[in-house]
Chain A
Amino acid sequence: MSTTTAAEAELAIQARQAAQSSDGYWKGVFKRVRRDKVTMFCAFILLCMLLAIIFAPLIAPHDPFQGSMIRRLRPIGTPNHPLGTDELGRDILTRLLFGGRLSWFMGIVPVALAFVMGTFLGVLAGFAGGKTNMLIMRVTDVFYAFPSVLLAVAISGALGAGILNAILALTLVFVPPIIRVAESVTQGVRNLDFVDAARASGASAFTVVRVHVLGNVLGPIFIYATSLISVCMILASGLSFLGLGTRPPEAEWGLMLNTLRTAIYVQPWVAVLPGACIFVTSICFNLVSDGMRQAMDVKG
């Protein structure tokens, strides 16, 4: 309508601003993420990969374990085997699709476990302070004295090959850094006025942690944990590459890279495909984590 007065327009602007400012924190974060093209692109690739590995049995052209002695090490572009075959004549595309399941699983589960354990111990150490803090943080220091790759290799090397042992080893590698981050952000929050106010108004320590501390520390810890997924995936595949994680004939990118290593003189470009999958996944996780950190405006 053309009869809108200046006053009405002013009111409309005010109303819109009020609506914008009442948007939740998370809404703002998602708005900022949506504007970040790199992050959205990487998230899209990850989503496609996730769907592909979930529906692997439906879209894979062959059986991941069924090989053929007369069709070994076919090049990329072979009819019926678009990405070639491996040293036992199994279809590479199929094995990459199925292998993604284990690689993703081994990249995410240890970080998720470490996130839960590390947050619990770190918040406990940061909030309780005193001797509890001393005990938890000094034990953490010991694990910091090992380079992470070495610690993972040492633990899973001693326990022997196997998926569970690898997950245990990787979880132990990622708990200490998460404890450190959780402890430092908790200490930052603990001395803020609203925590004192809550305590003064009679809230128990548990309530203070649950309502006032966790809400403020979970975001930064979570963002830190997502940045570890890419490292964890590389390490997990690395363990399989050394023969410590998954065992043949299981399909897993690191293990495939290991068994195809002998074929680099015969079919070099087929042999490096599983590693390219690890690379793409890990770089996408890294960039999405970076993008989320920027959107949440979390420092560190």
Chain B
Amino acid sequence: MFFYLIRRLIYAVPIALAVGFVCFMLVQIAPGDPINAIVPPDAPQDVVDQVRRDYGLDKPLPVQFGIWLLKVVQGDLGRSLATGRPVWSDLQSAIGNTLTLAASASLLGFMLGCVLGGLAGTFRGSILDRAAVTIAVAGVSVPHYWLGMVLVVIFSVQLNMLPAMGAGPGGSADWAWDWEHMQHLVLPSITLAVIPMGIVTRTVRGIVAEIMNQEFVVALRGKGLTGWGVFLHVVKNAAPNVLAVLGLQLGYLMGGSILVETVFSWPGTGLLLNSAIFQRDLPVLQGTILVLSLFFVALNLLVDLVQTALDPRIKRA
């Protein structure tokens, strides 16, 4: 296990570097000369050259990548072209908000998915099973940004029960765990939770059905265990795989919340990305995507390690 941990950590390094390279290349594939975003179009040529040297844009690409990487490692993601503030400072509060949203959505989706999938897997072929499968298919097929709009129409426009926008009263971006703030979390979380709910339902249903077919379940029943006792054994067997799915879903939601954040004006990384795209603020775009992807890489690593530690059937050396 210890050697596996070391090996897995070492393997994550080239992946992280490659992710950094892709993020670096994002700015390079963008059309137009990045210098045009900094200097006005009517600037004299010597000023343009001066700025180009100051920003290191006259150096060859590999050297630029090296310099960029060194800065990133030190936590310097550059400055926003639109606001002039360091990208990292804007990102910090945004990441917290996105994490709040993604975590509550994954938790909600996870719980619903486990219940639905567990019931469907246990009572294979029943009406319950069919209902769960239908809900799961709908969950993965629904355009969630549209579901968000529908929820806003029902709960904000028609019933006037829940706020439609922002993360707090008066559009404040500071988060607190009171009802004033939490009511803003309800609709975005439900919207974002439908995807993990669908996927977790499918996964749990498959895993539970497979376990129920194994001989040890028959043995447990033969031994005299009923309902609850068998259930605990099934949970113990299903847990490692289900937890792995949950971890990955949290990562997907962190990266995939951009559409939902746009619908609800949730002040997270998605909204930051959205405005960066519109202002063609490439440093913010690059920094946000880099941080979110590295988070995803780290989460993948963690899931792998936890799964290995939890499941004695997986032998990795």
Contacts and interface: CB of A to CB of B under 8 A. Distances in A.
Contacts of B19: 142, 145-146
A234 B143 contact: yes
Interface in B268-286: 273-274, 276-278, 280, 282, 285
Contacts of B152: 264
Contacts of A147: 251-252, 254-256, 292-293, 296
Interface stretch (B21-29, B47-55, B174-182): B21-29
Contacts of A237: 143
Nearest to B263: A261
B140 interface: yes
B289 interface: yes
A283 B158 CA distance: 27
B15 A145 contact: yes
Interface string A134-156: 00001001110111111001110
B218 interface: no
Contacts of A30: none
Contact of A286 (B141, B145, B276, B292): B141
Given A150-B293, A238-B143, A271-B149, A160 B255 contact: no
A126 B22 CA distance: 25
A272 interface: yes
A26 interface: no
A158 interface: yes
Contacts of B23: 154
B29 A159 contact: yes
B145 A257 contact: yes
B282 A158 contact: yes
Contact of B259 (A146, A149, A274): A149
A243 B145 CA distance: 13
B26 A279 contact: no
A154 B290 CA distance: 10
Contacts of B282: 158
B303 interface: no
Given A261-B149, A271-B153, A146 B296 contact: yes
Contacts of B16: 145
B157 interface: yes
B148 to A, nearest CB: 9
Interface string B136-149: 01101111011101
A269 interface: yes
B285 A279 contact: no
A145 B289 CA distance: 11
Contacts of B297: 145
Interface residues of A, number: 45
A272 B149 contact: yes
B286 to A, nearest CB: 8
A272 B152 CA distance: 10
B300 A272 contact: no
A224 interface: no
Interface in A36-81: none
Given A145-B300, A160-B30, A278-B143, A268 B157 contact: yes
Nearest to A239: B259
A159 B141 contact: no
A155 B28 CA distance: 11
A139 to B, nearest CB: 8
A265 B153 CA distance: 8
Contacts of B276: 157
B293 A265 contact: no
A275 B141 contact: no
B31 A159 contact: yes
Interface string B1-36: 000000000000011101100110011011100000
Contacts of B259: 149, 238, 241-242
Nearest to B251: A147
B153 A150 contact: no
Contacts of A287: 137
A244 B157 CA distance: 28
A226 interface: no
Contacts of B274: 242
Given A243-B277, A244-B277, A282 B143 contact: yes
A265 B157 contact: yes
Interface of A: 138, 141-143, 145-150, 153-155, 157-160, 230, 234, 237-238, 241-244, 254, 257, 261, 264-265, 268-269, 271-272, 274-276, 278-279, 282-283, 285-287, 290
Given A145-B18, A279-B141, A290-B137, 14 more contacts: A142-B19, A146-B19, A146-B296, A147-B252, A147-B296, A150-B289, A157-B26, A241-B145, A243-B277, A244-B277, A272-B150, A278-B146, A282-B141, A287-B137
The 5 closest A-B CB pairs, nearest first, are: A275-B146, A147-B255, A150-B255, A149-B256, A283-B141
28 contacts: A142-B15, A146-B293, A147-B296, A149-B252, A149-B256, A150-B255, A150-B293, A154-B23, A157-B26, A157-B285, A158-B26, A159-B30, A160-B280, A230-B141, A238-B145, A238-B259, A243-B277, A244-B277, A264-B153, A268-B157, A272-B150, A275-B145, A279-B141, A279-B143, A279-B146, A282-B142, A285-B141, A286-B140
